[in-house]
Amino acid sequence: MSEILKGRAWVFSDDVDTDLIYHNKYLAETDPKNMPQYAFEYYPGKENFAKEVKPGDFVVAGKNFGCGSSREHAVYCLEYAGIPCVLAETCSRIYYRNAINNGYPVLFVKGLSEAIKEGKIKDGDQLEVELSTGTIKDATNGNVFHGDAVSDLENDIMKAGGLMNYMKAKAGAK
């Protein structure tokens, strides 16, 4: 049986670009441990995210999460805030690539954008997420969402701590 992650939902709309996740004025920060303090500072209504987020909480978004500029900061600020994964209907290819390269999971959940718009999942809802099956249960209202499970390769990269560590381990195994 696989692990069930439990935490509170932070709900975002469609088209959340990387400047809203982690503004470019903080790009000089190079220590990932310091990046969470700037997360979503410029997202309307979520300006206090960095002060209020707790390890285990989830970022829940609609379509095209992480669009815009390529920056690992937008992954690091969530990962180092203790967000175990991003739940989104879709995300930009570059955000997804940065997440996978850093061993950070993104679950794709069909219909999530509409569920957000219809209020079927809201800020503060308590979620139960099973990465191995992609099942998301909203314990607050009983709604269940079905995402794509984390693939075996993604899981291996996550366990290795990112793509570089995974590749080093594979090269060393030969």
User: Could you report the per-residue pLDDT of 26-45, keeping only the tens digit for each?
Assistant: 999 999 999 999 999 999 99
* 87-144 residue pLDDT tens: 999 999 999 999 999 999 999 999 999 999 999 999 999 999 998 899 999 999 999 9
The DSSP bridge pattern shows strands 126-130 and 144-146 to be unpaired
Residues 6 or more apart whose CB falls under 8 angstroms from that of 84 comprise 5, 7, 56, 58, 105, 129
Domains of the chain listed by start with CATH number: 4-172 (3.20.19.10)
Task: Decide: pTM greater than 0.85.
Answer: yes
Among residues 71, 69, 76, 137, the alpha carbon closest in space to that of 109 is found at: 137
